[in-house]
Chain A
């Protein structure tokens, strides 16, 4: 079983949250040398005519502008930010609902048949607890190192402008996701509900689903359809993780991923931060793909909705040969089409402030965040069968997301979206499962109400 390590890579960049509700002028005026959330750039460009080369005389203007706008901006976060929080709550909730519904009904995704991803080679069928713990930690180390290597390779690729390569791999990844994984999913659903189905019909359905998905994600499409496809892909990916990651490894990986996310986005030498800085220097928006955007940006004279994330990984899901291929493709996968990006960037520079309605400024959240949130909630639903734990994790993740967005509104730079939510989620999972569950079960047995 190979996993989509591209997944891991992609979500790293993807887990950066970007604020978008900053009024155009100040945001444009921020010092480009500072790492800025690259995702903000497309928006900024739409709101201000952009000179081809931006002289960093923005420094002083940045400083002047800051205090003036700070007041407006700080009041804005709650009135403005509340809307964006909900714009992210809804898709995150939808993704989690899809994953939990699937886990609870389709037994395929909770069956363990001993198959594991090649990135988690150590088995958890050991004799002692200590050995099991050791194996899960080793699995995590391997997984995280794969991710780190991939991300660094990605940064190197970006630095050397191998755009076509990346572009091609991304398309291959999304092909894999949209066709193969959805076919598998559909098959399992039919098996669960014992529905008789013929191949021509399935071929029609999958073909249409896949082609429309490719068009929506890589080219143009209605915003809501794009968002729906991104949610579907994140859910599919999360389901694969839930199936193929062994129990303890999954929890340790979740914890380690959030630490890595924190480090990668915030440390000065972190790969993600370097990525952002590189994109900054080149005046390119980075990674419009593989990111869920809650709003669309309309340009003068052209309908060019913001590109949304392409499916993060291609999980080959089958043989080892493909694993090597996926490894190679993983690198490309995270990438969004830089060429189109650049061209759309230039197109955007022609638009003026009038075009950008304030309502359209959305917040972006990486697909990797969707995936890992859903993995956490899905695992909570899969192990135990207790709905209280699932609910608790769900609320914890939403509150973590809310806090992250609040921090985003305060700090106004790309932030990792995983740490707070995953920490809350893990804390609530373990405490609800071990402490609250016996308490509530006892109460329900006696029909006591608190």
Chain B
């Protein structure tokens, strides 16, 4: 529970997300607003699912720990479904807002495309989800204590940090894929997103056997990331051009006027 644990876990959990925010979102005010709105929607979904869980707990038998665990699992599944519902709701809201803007504006192009919105909203969901999962743990890691003194796993902080990073990245990828499939009306890929979210959450039921939860989660991160990459228009050719700095569009777009 040292400072190095605190900083290490913070950067592991939030490093990629903060880097993404700083390099791609921070400069554009519109994207920041939609990011925060995405965070707000995630928060609303959490509120609803906590409400339902709370009510079920109140009417249940508080003594029986297996029942409580069962209710918690039910809460997790419900929460995942509500999150995806809220993501869909956010998508609908953004579409309406986009249409309204397009009608009113003199220009033909939108100030922000639906793909950017997908990315930003996914990251917003991820930020909030990661923050809610991790911040209390980080605050505890600054204080005194010994990890796993009662026989629990010693790797609590580290595994939480890695899991949080995975979840944040996943939310971002899910956002991209989700919006894309809503745009193209591919309901099956929407279902796959929801199922993969459920899968990731259910894998965590195995904690503290981290091998069973972290490794498959990262495989899923990689796969969904690839899917999101191809969904948003990436291809091997694009990637090659980008990496060898031959992509003229990219270079031009990032060329700063003097």
- Decide if B132 touches A440 in the complex (CB within 8 Å): yes
CA distance A450 to B48 in the complex (A): 13
- Decide if B36 touches A78 in the complex (CB within 8 Å): no
Binary interface encoding of chain B residues 65-91 relative to chain A, with 1 for a CB under 8 A from any of its CBs, else 0: 000110011011001100100000000
- Decide if B40 touches A449 in the complex (CB within 8 Å): no
Known: A71-B104, A447-B156, A447-B160. A439 touches B33 (CB 8 A): no
Binary interface encoding of chain A residues 155-171 relative to chain B, with 1 for a CB under 8 A from any of its CBs, else 0: 00000000000000000
Chain B residues within 8 Å of chain A by Cβ, number? 53
- Decide if B201 touches A449 in the complex (CB within 8 Å): yes
Known: A428-B43, A447-B156, A450-B79. A78 touches B133 (CB 8 A): no
- Decide if A391 touches B132 in the complex (CB within 8 Å): yes
Contacting residues, chain B, for A448 (C-beta < 8 A): 72-73, 76, 201, 204-205, 207
Asked if A438 is an interface residue, CB under 8 A from chain B, the answer is yes
Interface residues of A in 414-450 (CB under 8 A from B): 428, 431-432, 434-436, 438-444, 446-450
> Which among B16-24, B113-121, B135-143, B242-250 touches the partner chain?
B135-143
**Set B33, B131, B200: member contacting A82, Cβ < 8 A:** B33
- Decide if B159 touches A447 in the complex (CB within 8 Å): yes
**Set A72, A75, A391, A449: member contacting B200, Cβ < 8 A:** A449
Asked if A267 is an interface residue, CB under 8 A from chain B, the answer is no
Q: Shortest beta-carbon distance, B144 to chain A, in Å? A: 15
> Which among A21-29, A199-207, A271-279, A392-400 touches the partner chain?
A392-400
Contacting residues, chain B, for A85 (C-beta < 8 A): 29, 33
Asked if B190 is an interface residue, CB under 8 A from chain A, the answer is no
Known: A71-B106, A75-B105, A83-B29. A395 touches B75 (CB 8 A): no
Q: Name A398's closest neighbour in chain B (CB-CB).
A: B36
Does more than half of chain B's interface fall in helix, strand or loop, or is it mixed? helix
Q: Shortest beta-carbon distance, B106 to chain A, in Å? A: 6
Q: Shortest beta-carbon distance, B3 to chain A, in Å? A: 15
CA distance A78 to B160 in the complex (A): 38
- Decide if A435 touches B51 in the complex (CB within 8 Å): yes
Contacting residues, chain B, for A209 (C-beta < 8 A): none
Known: A75-B101, A86-B29, A447-B208. A435 touches B76 (CB 8 A): no
Contacting residues, chain A, for B72 (C-beta < 8 A): 442-443, 446, 448
CA distance A435 to B83 in the complex (A): 17
Q: Shortest beta-carbon distance, A32 to chain B, in Å? A: 28
Chain A residues within 8 Å of chain B by Cβ, number? 39
Contacting residues, chain B, for A387 (C-beta < 8 A): 135-136, 139
CA distance A74 to B136 in the complex (A): 42
Contacting residues, chain B, for A388 (C-beta < 8 A): 131-132, 135-136
Q: Name A439's closest neighbour in chain B (CB-CB).
A: B50
Q: Shortest beta-carbon distance, A444 to chain B, in Å? A: 6
Interface residues of B in 1-53 (CB under 8 A from A): 29-30, 32-33, 36-37, 39-40, 43, 46-47, 49-51, 53
Q: Shortest beta-carbon distance, B39 to chain A, in Å? A: 5
Q: Name A431's closest neighbour in chain B (CB-CB).
A: B47
Q: Name A438's closest neighbour in chain B (CB-CB).
A: B54
Asked if A402 is an interface residue, CB under 8 A from chain B, the answer is yes
Contacting residues, chain B, for A447 (C-beta < 8 A): 156, 159-160, 163, 204, 207-208
Asked if A89 is an interface residue, CB under 8 A from chain B, the answer is yes
Contacting residues, chain A, for B30 (C-beta < 8 A): 78-79, 82
Interface residues of B in 169-209 (CB under 8 A from A): 200-201, 204-205, 207-208
CA distance A428 to B69 in the complex (A): 26
Asked if B128 is an interface residue, CB under 8 A from chain A, the answer is yes
Asked if A386 is an interface residue, CB under 8 A from chain B, the answer is yes
Contacting residues, chain A, for B159 (C-beta < 8 A): 447
Contacting residues, chain A, for B68 (C-beta < 8 A): 442
Contacting residues, chain B, for A79 (C-beta < 8 A): 30, 105, 111
Asked if B224 is an interface residue, CB under 8 A from chain A, the answer is no
Does more than half of chain A's interface fall in helix, strand or loop, or is it mixed? helix
Q: Name A387's closest neighbour in chain B (CB-CB).
A: B135
Residue from the set A387, A446, A448 with the largest chain B CB neighbour count within 10 Å? A448
Residue from the set B37, B43, B69 with the largest chain A CB neighbour count within 10 Å? B43
Residue from the set A78, A79, A443, A447 with the largest chain B CB neighbour count within 10 Å? A447
Q: Name B197's closest neighbour in chain A (CB-CB).
A: A450
- Decide if B33 touches A450 in the complex (CB within 8 Å): no
Contacting residues, chain A, for B54 (C-beta < 8 A): 434-435, 438-439
CA distance A295 to B137 in the complex (A): 39
- Decide if A86 touches B32 in the complex (CB within 8 Å): yes
CA distance A185 to B50 in the complex (A): 39
CA distance A89 to B35 in the complex (A): 13
CA distance A399 to B136 in the complex (A): 23
Q: Shortest beta-carbon distance, B170 to chain A, in Å? A: 10
- Decide if A75 touches B76 in the complex (CB within 8 Å): no
Known: A79-B111, A83-B29, A402-B37. A439 touches B133 (CB 8 A): no
Known: A447-B156, A449-B163. A82 touches B205 (CB 8 A): no
CA distance A74 to B200 in the complex (A): 43
Q: Shortest beta-carbon distance, A90 to chain B, in Å? A: 10
CA distance A360 to B167 in the complex (A): 40
Q: Shortest beta-carbon distance, B93 to chain A, in Å? A: 13
**Set B39, B53, B207: member contacting A446, Cβ < 8 A:** B207
- Decide if B37 touches A399 in the complex (CB within 8 Å): yes
Contacting residues, chain A, for B205 (C-beta < 8 A): 446, 448
Taking A72-B106, A86-B33 as known contacts, 5 extra A-B pairs with beta carbons closer than 8 A to each other, sorted by chain A number, are: A71-B104, A78-B101, A428-B47, A442-B72, A447-B204
Chain A interfacial positions (CB closer than 8 Å to B): 71-72, 74-75, 78-79, 82-83, 85-86, 89, 386-388, 391-392, 395-396, 398-399, 402, 428, 431-432, 434-436, 438-444, 446-450
A-B CB contact pairs (8 Å), 24 listed: A79-B111, A86-B29, A86-B32, A387-B135, A388-B136, A396-B43, A402-B36, A431-B50, A439-B49, A439-B75, A440-B132, A444-B133, A446-B72, A446-B207, A447-B163, A448-B76, A448-B207, A449-B201, A449-B204, A450-B49, A450-B76, A450-B79, A450-B83, A450-B133
8 nearest A-B residue pairs (beta carbon): A447-B207, A75-B105, A86-B29, A82-B29, A439-B50, A435-B50, A82-B30, A450-B79
Chain B interfacial positions (CB closer than 8 Å to A): 29-30, 32-33, 36-37, 39-40, 43, 46-47, 49-51, 53-54, 57, 68-69, 72-73, 75-76, 79-80, 83, 101, 104-107, 111, 128-129, 131-133, 135-137, 139, 156, 159-160, 163-164, 167, 200-201, 204-205, 207-208
